[in-house]
Amino acid sequence: MVATSAASAFFPVASPSPVKPSMMLGGGGGSDNLDARGIKSRPASSGGLQVKANAHTVPKINGNKAGLLTPMESTKDEDIVAAPTVAPKRTFINQLPDWSMLLAAITTIFLAAEKQWTNLDWKPRRPDMLVDFDPFSLGRFVQDGLIFRQNFSIRSYEIGADRTASIETLMNHLQETALNHVRCIGLLDDGFGSTPEMTRRDLIWVVTRMQVLVDRYPSWGDVIEVDSWVTPSGKNGMKREWFLRDCKTGEILTRATSVWVMMNKRTRRLSKIPEEVRVEIEPYFVEHGVLDEDSRKLPKLNDNTANYIRRGLAPRWSDLDVNQHVNNVKYIGWILESVPSSLLESHELYGMTLEYRKECGKDGLLQSLTAVASDYGGGSLEAGVECDHLLRLEDGSEIMRGKTEWRPKRAANTTYFGSVDDIPPANNA
């Protein structure tokens, strides 16, 4: 009763009309016109018998006319009076309103709000508009807005047989941080990191050299913190630097550096940096590198000098990036295709130097060559292996040269980098 009273206060329902006494058997007032079945008869007109056709079709239920009796029923129920109409019992359930209209209104409001939110332009255009934490949670700026920091969680599909993140996973996170850095300073216009002035001149960034040192690979569920910034590299290049840390302990996991130059995306030729583009990017340069450049010359392998060759490597459509060529991270997976499985099982990759010599399109068919150094010993923690790599097209054109360094798989909590004093602190926000 309490629930019914409370519901009726919020959802009033019209009370059913009371049944008139004249509609009940034995009632007064007008009951003299009822026939034997309790149906009120219509008096005949003075002009004789007149029959009027009903203009409306009588509704049917299960083949019988609604409200009328079948011949059999009319014979049996001659003396039965029509039962009076009984109002349905008022309960809490049948007094609830139709919630579908309310849900439709709420959905419309949320869709409109989402559209307005996504149409907002969050990209700052001047250094004084830099935000400490962008509204899409892509990361934040540290070191006076010159270093960009972003966190990533290692997912289950990003780990390999060793239950740790793969080298491709780390490289993808480094690349994602770099692009979000360009986006949050307001210079991401079209392509991978292209500024507005680069877009006007059909210019894109391409990587020519990459150097990576891995101290420890994160595991599934670890949260890593990536710092990224840019430094100058000669007259026509730019360097991109990265630090990768364990977010919980601040331990340095990976250091990486890369060299980038400009290429015309229509002619596919390298280009000098226009002065208008230099004006865009120079305010964000930081004179701080993370690795000493590996100046060793990378040898060119051939069928005679390579120990292992993997042929028939073809790019998939998903390997292409927005610049319509194979993404540089995919090359790393290809050179590892020719590394012997015995080395992959006993050692882990910790150092890598790559020279990108030519882009690869969707129609390329490649070969991966690897030469493993033979003068190494096994068993001790300090013993390692060096490999030289070549990625080429079937016609012999070089795509990439590389050198990788491998160490025996180690026990947990062994650190190789030691302390690095000039690394930006992990908690400096």
Of the listed 323, 328, 347, 389, which one is catalytic? 323
Q: pLDDT at position 248, please?
A: 94
The residue ranges of every structural domain in the chain are 134-293, 294-412
3-state secondary structure of 42: coil
Whether 347 sits among the annotated catalytic residues: the reply is no
In the predicted model, is pLDDT for residue 411 greater than 60?
Answer: no
In the predicted model, is pLDDT for residue 310 greater than 90?
Answer: yes
Q: Tell me the per-residue pLDDT of 205-237, one tens digit each, with 9 for 90 and over.
A: 889 999 999 999 999 999 999 999 999 998 889
CATH topology of domain 134-293: Thiol Ester Dehydrase; Chain A (3.10.129)
Whether this prediction's pTM lies above 0.85 is answered by no
Whether 184 sits among the annotated catalytic residues: the reply is no
Matching residue, tokens 């030729």:
269
Q: Tell me the per-residue pLDDT of 331-388, one tens digit each, with 9 for 90 and over.
A: 999 999 999 999 999 999 999 999 999 988 888 899 999 999 865 544 444 578 999 9
pLDDT class of 122 with cuts at 50, 70, 90 = very low
Polymer length in residues for the chain: 429
- Give the largest Cα separation in the chain, rounded: 129
Q: pLDDT at position 363, please?
A: 85
* 294-412 has the same fold as 134-293: yes
User: Residues 199, 208: contact at Cβ < 8 Å?
Assistant: no
Contacts of 65 (CB under 8 A, 6+ apart): 58, 59
Residue 239 β-bridge partners: 231, 259
In the predicted model, is pLDDT for residue 1 greater than 70?
Answer: no
Quick one: CATH architecture of 294-412?
Answer: Roll (3.10)
Rounded distance between C-alpha atoms, residue 271 and residue 198, angstroms:
11
Whether 323 sits among the annotated catalytic residues: the reply is yes
Of the listed 181, 327, 360, 389, which one is catalytic? 360
Assigned token pair, 213: 């040192």
Of the listed 325, 327, 347, 387, which one is catalytic? 325
3-state secondary structure of 99: helix
